Amino acid sequence: MLQDIASSRKVRRAFGFAVVGALLLFFFSGSLLSDPLIPQWYAAKGGQKNPLNYVDPLIGSVNGGHVFSGATLPFGMAKAVADVTGENQGGFGSDGSDVMGFSGLHDLGVGYMPSLGNFPVFPITSCPNNDPKSCKFDRMQRSVSYRNDSVKARPGYFGIELDNGVFAEMTVTNHTALYRFVFEQTPVDQSFGTAIYAGLEDLHSATINGFISVDERSGRILGNGTFLPSFGQGQYHAHFCADVGGADVIDAGIAPRPFNGDRAAGAWVQLAPGKEVLVRVGLSFISSQQACTNAENEIADFDFVDTATAAHKAWEDKFSVLEIDTDGASEEMLTIFWTGIYRSFISPQDYTGENPLWNSDEPYFDSWYCIWDTFRTTHPLLVLLDQEAQTRMVRSLIDIYRHEGRLPDCRMSFCKGFTQGGSNADVVLADSMLKGISDNVDWNAGLKAVLADAMEETRAWRVEGRGGINDWKEYGYLPLDQSRGYHRSISRAVEYAYDDFCIAQMAKMLNDSVADVMLNRSHNWENLFNQDTRSSLPDVPAEDPGQVHVAGEDTGFTGFLQPRNKDGTFAYQDPALCSPLLNPNGCFLDYKTAGETYEGSIWLYTFLSSPSDMGTVISKLGGDDTFARRLDYFHESGLLYFGDEQSFLTTYLYHYAGRPGLSGQRVRTYVPSIFNTSLNGLPGNDDSGAMGAFTALTMLGLFPNAGQDVYFIAPPFFKALSLKNKSTGMTATIKTINFDGSHGQNLFIQSATLNGKPWNKSWLRHSFFLEGGTLELVLGPLESTWGQRLEDRPPSNGRDGSWEFMSA
Ligand SMILES: *[C@@H]1O[C@H](CO)[C@@H](O)[C@H](O)[C@H]1NC(C)=O
Ligand SMILES: *[C@@H]1O[C@H](CO)[C@@H](O)[C@H](O)[C@H]1NC(C)=O
Ligand SMILES: *[C@@H]1O[C@H](CO)[C@@H](O)[C@H](O)[C@H]1NC(C)=O
Ligand SMILES: *[C@@H]1O[C@H](CO)[C@@H](O)[C@H](O)[C@H]1NC(C)=O
Ligand SMILES: *[C@@H]1O[C@H](CO)[C@@H](O)[C@H](O)[C@H]1NC(C)=O
Ligand SMILES: *[C@@H]1O[C@H](CO)[C@@H](O)[C@H](O)[C@H]1NC(C)=O
Ligand SMILES: *[C@@H]1O[C@H](CO)[C@@H](O)[C@H](O)[C@H]1NC(C)=O
Ligand SMILES: *[C@@H]1O[C@H](CO)[C@@H](O)[C@H](O)[C@H]1NC(C)=O
């Protein structure tokens, strides 16, 4: 509704004077067109470059990475960036499309519709007849191109120079975005000055309902709107409170919608001519009043440099737990590594105090987008680097269960997102529990939460819990011919089985006898294994040359997962379907394309049959040698698309066949060839940092099998590195002997010692990080026998019911 401006005018008078006064001071002291962070940025630290120097938030900003390249604090709610008209899932995309606004809420790496993007502000430098009422405020009309060598993205800061001569910079606190628009090149029209527009928009859904008001005297704009989530059901409300500074307010007004004049599109504030304008946008999901309070508390004085500097320090602090010996490491490797670390600290977002859905003393995180992506790498990395944040996330997950009856699988903007496979919050909880996360965590409630997933049928399985849980209990698989409409019966079964394994470990730690039931169910994947299935590959599409397989010929590998009917007979899905070689887009969520596997082939899911019982998987697939050859074939034939998270674990499965050397070698065929420093340097959506965390963990040389107390040891990409535990002062150090550069020849571990004693196992437990110590790896040019013996491989939870996985 178009709100009467007059009613709010009087109320804000006092504020208006106060703010303008404070800002004039700033106006005279502010630097123009210079990167405010340059002094800190290039400051050497302890003889080495500051790790923040190696962060390039633009990596993955084009060709589907969909990263968020803008300014944010670690896990902060405010995420400010320029929104473009083109590839804008994360707001900004380096595709050269025009800038249409600057907004303060975003998500990182989303694979579907653009997420959030509320509420854009935009500087207007001219209007027809110098009349702000006739300005072109509409997003397509106001959009403007930018100088593409002008983009500066740093942790906590984003700057861009528009082709109309406006230099736009932004920084943030937890709930507030601060923009500085500098009018350097265009002499501002003396009769018009400038205007700041604020719109009731997001990036994709358009406002369903919105309210806006502006105080003519102070220029304060209050607004709220109702929007759609990017990949889920329902709606959410968001609120903002924008104040301008640095120039006198001349006039203000409401901009009606172009074709719907009785409703507001946004509001404008006309400002006296000047060289720069600051716009502070407080954000909230509770009320615009709270948005104002957030802004006033967090950025009282509109000081851009101070705010950006504080953001920079917050990032420095997060990074300070890690130390890398850069001797022999290329700039490229350091950039891939630190940027990967950086993007692991962006989502989920800390919305504590901003949850309109329920009252609770527990933390509230949002943007679990999606746990299906992040359980594998993002959360295990946070367990290593930021125990405190991960603990608060775990508490938030359990609290979401308390209030919504289920753990989230995908959740964004206070809405339930679509479930892709099983209930992988179970894996996140188990991973954290096994690794000692406990501070104020109610693990009994945690067990109840995962058991709701595992035990209770739900009709709403598209967005919560697991569909077909009664069939899972009755048949031990999801029968293909049950008329429940659950496609993806293979990939879901594989995930259900592993989720059950994770729950079993949690139950075991709590001495709950449900552990045995869950452990038993974790073997259900075997019910879908068809020993007789073979695979021959189709013709490679013409545009996909150089594949190693011969079209039409049997691959020679037998035994694949297959869909199964209620009566126990097997149905058939070509094992290559939905691989890059055969209908790669055939297995998404919609029913038209849906296959029995999700976003991947049976080839892929057969390797992932049981991350907890690889011993059985390997023996069903023909033993160590055949398994290793089959993995090679999978990685080299064109069957594997590496832009999706399920692919990650397949690089490390050689460890289970006693060939850890091949894992280290394999992963180097992906980093840096497809995880690199180019603008398109990600093979797929970053998915809340899952890709970043994959590269970081890989380069550390200790890769987790998420949900188990297991880290695979592989040669790190650096000569030495260490991870400090801030609370205990303990340090876990990994050192190499014969390191010859990230790409070097000496890529095979010959032998290892842990705290000076021989370490023959190809894996480690989390106690290494808790207790500290030194793992020393002797490297050489050829694969060695290290890690090959059965007893030195990572544990496999076979049918003997032993609990080898437990650290306790
Ligand atoms: C700048 O634009 C040119 C031409 O469109 C393009 O080739 C180049 O990659 C762009 N550079 C950046 C940094 O976006
Ligand atoms: C931002 O929020 C985090 C909690 O997520 C908190 O630790 C941090 O101190 C806050 N930063 C500031 C500057 O208040
Ligand atoms: C949005 O603001 C209007 C005007 O202040 C108010 O009446 C309305 O309740 C607000 N909407 C929400 C969802 O808070
Ligand atoms: C640091 O030590 C504390 C106390 O032992 C422990 O709870 C925490 O998990 C450790 N952090 C990491 C990252 O290992
Ligand atoms: C589980 O049982 C073991 C052995 O009886 C005991 O030491 C442990 O404290 C129990 N744990 C819990 C959480 O009850
Ligand atoms: C394990 O599963 C088998 C059938 O798959 C069943 O016979 C057995 O009773 C189960 N055991 C437990 C402890 O649930
Ligand atoms: C970087 O990665 C992208 C995406 O994975 C890939 O297409 C591109 O070829 C790589 N670039 C270089 C220079 O390796
Ligand atoms: C570790 O391997 C070395 C070399 O093969 C061997 O001598 C030693 O006995 C092994 N240690 C253990 C504990 O198995």
Which residue among 333, 678, 691 is best mutated to probe the pocket of ligand 7, counting the most ligand atoms within 8 A of its Cβ? 678
Which atom of ligand 8 is found nearest the CA of 792?
A: 14
Best mutation site among 344, 384, 709, 725 for ligand 4 pocket (most ligand atoms within 8 Å of CB):
725
More confident residue, 686 or 31: 686
Across the chain, mean pLDDT equals 90
Residue 8 has pLDDT above 90, yes or no: no
Mean pLDDT value of segment 231-246: 96
* Among the listed residues 237, 515, 499, 202, the one whose alpha carbon sits nearest the alpha carbon of residue 371: 499
Q: What's the pLDDT at 482?
A: 74
Q: State pTM to two decimals.
A: 0.93
Query: 2 vs 433, which has greater pLDDT?
Result: 433
Q: What is the 3-state secondary structure (H, E, C) of 434-465?
A: HCCCCCCCCHHHHHHHHHHHHHCCCCCCCCCC
Q: Are residues 463 and 436 in contact, defined by beta-carbon separation less than 8 angstroms?
A: no
Give the CA-trace dihedral at 576, 578, 579, 582, to 10 degrees: 70
DSSP H or E run through 777 = strand 773-780
> Is the model more confident about 112 or about 177?
177
Ligand 2 atom closest to 73 (CA): 1
Q: Pick the atom of ligand 5 nearest to 510's CA.
A: 13
Please write the tens of the pLDDT for every residue from 371-420.
Answer: 999 999 999 999 999 999 999 999 999 999 999 999 999 999 999 999 99
Q: Which atom in ligand 4 lies closest to the alpha carbon of residue 383?
A: 13
Per-residue pLDDT reduced to its tens digit, 503-548:
999 999 999 999 999 999 999 999 999 999 999 988 765 455 555 6
Q: Which ligand is closest to the CA of 477, given by its number?
A: 6
Cβ–ligand 1 distance for 669 under 6 Å, the answer no
Residue from 520, 526, 527 whose mutation best tests the ligand 6 pocket (most atoms within 8 A of CB): 520
Ligand 5: nearest atom to the Cα of 511? 1
- Mutation choice for ligand 4 from 391, 438, 709, 770, CB with most ligand atoms inside 8 A: 770
Tokens linked to 530: 């068809």
- pLDDT tens figures, 245-291: 999 999 999 998 877 777 789 999 999 998 999 999 999 999 999 99
Q: In angstroms, what is the span from residue 162 Cα to ligand 1's centroid?
A: 14
Mean pLDDT in residue range 30-51? 52
pLDDT of 193 reads 87
pLDDT at 627 over 70: yes
> 280-315 in b/e burial notation, b at 16+ Cβ within 10 A?
bbbbbbbebebbbbbbbebbeebbbbebbbbbbebb
Give the residues across from 641 on adjacent strands: none
User: Does residue 382 sit in helix, strand or coil?
Assistant: helix
Q: How many angstroms separate the CA atoms of 661 and 748, rounded?
A: 5
678 within ligand 7 shell (Cβ under 6 A) = yes
**Ligand 5 pocket, mutate which of 442, 443, 511 (most atoms under 8 A from CB):** 511
What is residue 392's predicted lDDT score, i.e. its pLDDT? Answer: 98
Residue nearest (by alpha carbon) to ligand 3 atom 13 = 237
Q: What number of other Cβ atoms are within 10 A of residue 14's Cβ?
A: 11
Kindly give the residue spans of alpha helices, DSSP state H, lying in 211-360: 288-298, 304-319, 331-343
| 646: its two tokens | 């399920």
**Cα(224) to centroid(ligand 3), Å:** 6
The first and second tokens of residue 185, run together, are 């090149």
The pLDDT, as a whole number, for residue 205 is 79
Least confident piece of the model among 181-185, 504-508, 555-559: 181-185
Best substitution site from 381, 382, 387, 807 to test ligand 4's pocket, by max atoms within 8 Å of Cβ? 387
| Cβ proximity of 506 and 453 under 8 Å | no
Please check whether residue 5 is in contact with residue 216, taking contact to mean a CB–CB distance below 8 angstroms. Answer: yes
Q: Is 85 in the pocket of ligand 6 (CB under 6 A)?
A: no
Centre of ligand 4 from the C-alpha of residue 439, in Å: 10
Ligand 3, atom 3, lies closest to the CA of 211
Q: Would the CB of 234 count as within 6 Å of ligand 8?
A: no
Distance 792 CA to ligand 8 centre (A): 10
Q: Whose CA is nearest to atom 6 of ligand 6?
A: 520
- Whole-angstrom Cα distance, residue 659 to residue 591? 40
Q: What is the pLDDT of residue 11?
A: 26
Tell me how far the alpha carbon of residue 753 lies from the centroid of ligand 1, in angstroms: 49
User: How far apart (Å, rounded) are the C-alpha atoms in residues 234 and 5?
Assistant: 31
Residue 208 pLDDT level (bands cut at 50, 70, 90):
confident
| Bigger pLDDT: 740 vs 542 | 740
Closest by CA to 161, choosing from 293, 74, 302, 34, is 34
Instruction: Report whether residue 725 contacts ligand 4, using a CB cutoff of 6 Å.
Output: yes
What is each CA distance from 600 to 238, 309, 531, 583, 647, in whole angstroms? 36, 44, 20, 10, 9
**Looking at the predicted structure, is the pLDDT value of residue 22 above 60?**
no
**pLDDT for the residue numbered 729:** 84
Residue 710 has pLDDT above 80, yes or no: yes
The full set of domains in the chain, from first to last, is 3-319 (2.70.98.10), 349-420+431-449 (1.20.1050.60), 468-641 (1.20.1610.10), 681-808 (3.30.2080.10)
CA 349/CA 369 separation, integer angstroms: 10
Cα dihedral 573→578→581→585 (10° resolution): 140
Residue 602 Cα distances to 478, 535, 582, 609, 643, angstroms: 16, 10, 12, 10, 17
Q: Whose CA is nearest to atom 10 of ligand 4?
A: 770
What is the C-alpha to C-alpha distance for residues 132 and 710, in angstroms, rounded to an integer?
Answer: 63
- 758 within ligand 8 shell (Cβ under 6 A): yes
Query: Apex CA 529: angle with CA 524 and CA 530, to 5°?
Result: 150
CA–centroid distance, 231 to ligand 3, in Å, is 25
Give CA angle at 453 (452, 459), nearest 5°: 95
Considering only CA atoms, which residue is closest to atom 1 of ligand 8? 760
Answer whether residue 12 shows pLDDT above 50. Answer: no
Return the pLDDT at 19. 28
Question: 770 CB less than 6 Å from ligand 4?
Answer: yes
| 474 Cβ below 6 A of ligand 6 | no
Q: Is the CB of 211 under 6 A from ligand 3?
A: yes
- pLDDT number for residue 320: 95
Q: Tokens 């996985």 — which residue?
A: 805
Q: Which residues line ligand 2 (CB under 6 A)?
A: 73, 75, 173-174, 350
438 Cβ closer than 6 Å to some ligand 4 atom: no
Residue with the bigger pLDDT between 741 and 302: it is 302
CA distances from 29 to 22, 24, 73, 275 (A): 12, 9, 25, 12
Q: Taking 70 as the threshold, does the pLDDT of residue 42 lie above it?
A: no
* CA 222 to ligand 3 center in whole angstroms: 10
Span from the CA of 63 to the centroid of ligand 7 (angstroms): 10
Q: Which residues line ligand 5 (CB under 6 A)?
A: 510-511
- Model confidence at 5: pLDDT above 90: no
Measured on CA atoms in the order 464, 470, 471, 477, is the torsion positive or negative?
Answer: positive
Please tell me the distance from the alpha carbon of residue 691 to that of residue 170, in angstroms, as a whole number: 26
Does residue 332's CB lie within 6 angstroms of at least one atom of ligand 7? no
Is the pLDDT assigned to residue 648 strictly greater than 90?
Answer: yes
- Average pLDDT for 422-436: 98
Q: What pLDDT does residue 7 have?
A: 30
Per-residue pLDDT, 807:
38
Percent of the chain residues past pLDDT 70, beyond the cut: 90
Q: Which of 92, 95, 148, 161 to mutate to test the pocket of ligand 1 (most atoms within 8 A of CB)?
A: 148
Residue identifier of the C-alpha nearest atom 8 of ligand 7: 674
How many Å lie between the centroid of ligand 1 and the Cα of residue 332?
A: 20
